């Protein structure tokens, strides 16, 4: 039996049932949830980020949902500091705390720490932005793929901000961006149990397609239309919004837009799983197998 407090991380691809599982575990342990979904930090965005429903938020106390504005920047390093402080507070009254999300870098920051990333010069940053504006997303994708294939396998390649940040570091240091993820994890003063939500690929993709259809019915197009003037903001350069911004500019019709959101979300899910599969400590369990999920949890009790 562990004498330390335990952070229970629930990870996996988008639409894999992480929220439901985290709430069930939080209720069983009478504890609270740290959200590590970088898309759900922003209070203005709801439908396209698949935030927990009002009922789900009421079922267990959540932290780090809707606590930032799309006008603010919030990095994995910022989250590491804030989340560790909140976890410390929660461990004063709970033996377990749940952390849930599909943003691998943010979860890694809390569990293992991140190296301080070098800052690029304004000249370097301006050069990258200028080339992106002239040559488009394909330029960023090709550069990252050529200079850091390891990071390219896991990054959301539809997100220009993340690609540009990687290139800033690559151009500044001459080294791959992925080299700056800690090779030797920081030793935290609590135990960590990570449970991964496993799905057969076809079933997961079906859930993703269904979720996108539900988002469309809930009004994703209208939600995206409210943020056209902010479309270059980091928070909006993400699947579900960028496709609609192109639609509003007449680049494709609505059925094509919906299909692109489904395709890009499936691609994103594949990259999430590629990231998490690198971690051999994750205990992968079938989302539908509640006994296996709680058996993994009971190993820490």
pLDDT of residue 154: 86
Q: How confident is the model at residue 183 (pLDDT cuts 50, 70, 90)?
A: low
Q: How confident is the model at residue 300 (pLDDT cuts 50, 70, 90)?
A: low
pTM: 0.85
pLDDT of residue 13: 97
Q: How many helices (H) and strands (E) does the chain have?
A: 13, 6
The mean of the pLDDT values for the chain is 92
Q: How confident is the model at residue 1 (pLDDT cuts 50, 70, 90)?
A: very low
pLDDT of residue 220: 98
CA neighbor of 96 nearest in space, from 11, 20, 193:
193
Quick count: other Cβ atoms within 10 Å of Cβ 90?
A: 21
What are the extents of the domains in the chain?
Answer: 6-115+182-298, 122-180
Domain 122-180 has CATH 1.10.3210.10: no
Q: What are the helix (H) ranges across the chain?
A: 18-29, 54-59, 76-90, 104-112, 122-135, 137-147, 149-152, 160-173, 201-218, 220-225, 242-248, 254-277, 290-298
CATH class name, domain 6-115+182-298: alpha beta
């Amino acid at each position: 039996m562990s004498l330390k407090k335990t952070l229970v991380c629930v990870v996996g691809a988008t639409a894999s049932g992480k929220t439901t599982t985290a709430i069930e575990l939080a209720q069983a342990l009478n504890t609270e949830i740290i959200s590590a979904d970088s898309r759900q930090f922003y209070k203005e965005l709801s439908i396209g980020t698949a935030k927990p429903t009002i009922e789900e938020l009421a079922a267990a106390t959540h932290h780090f949902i809707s606590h930032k504005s799309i006008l603010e920047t919030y990095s994995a390093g910022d989250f590491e500091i804030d989340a560790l402080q909140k976890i410390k507070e929660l461990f004063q009254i709970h033996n377990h705390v749940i952390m849930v999300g599909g943003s691998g870098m943010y979860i890694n920051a809390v569990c293992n720490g991140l190296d301080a990333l070098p800052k690029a010069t304004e000249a370097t940053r301006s050069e990258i932005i200028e080339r992106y504006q002239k040559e488009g997303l394909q330029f960023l994708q090709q550069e990252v793929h050529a200079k850091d294939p390891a990071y390219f396998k896991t990054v959301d390649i539809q997100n220009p901000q993340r690609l540009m940040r990687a290139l800033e570091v690559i151009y500044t240091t001459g080294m791959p961006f992925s080299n700056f993820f800690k090779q030797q994890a920081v030793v935290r003063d609590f135990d960590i149990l990570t449970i991964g939500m496993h799905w057969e690929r076809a079933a997961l993709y079906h859930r993703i397609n269904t979720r996108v259809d539900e988002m469309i019915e809930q009004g994703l197009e209208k939600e995206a239309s409210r943020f056209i003037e902010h479309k270059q903001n980091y928070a909006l350069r993400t699947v579900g919004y960028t496709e609609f911004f192109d639609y509003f500019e007449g680049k494709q019709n609505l059925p094509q837009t919906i299909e692109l959101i489904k395709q890009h979300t499936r691609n994103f899910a594949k990259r999430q799983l590629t990231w998490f599969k690198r971690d051999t400590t994750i205990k992968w369990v079938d989302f539908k197998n509640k006994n296996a999920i709680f058996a993994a949890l009971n190993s820490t009790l």
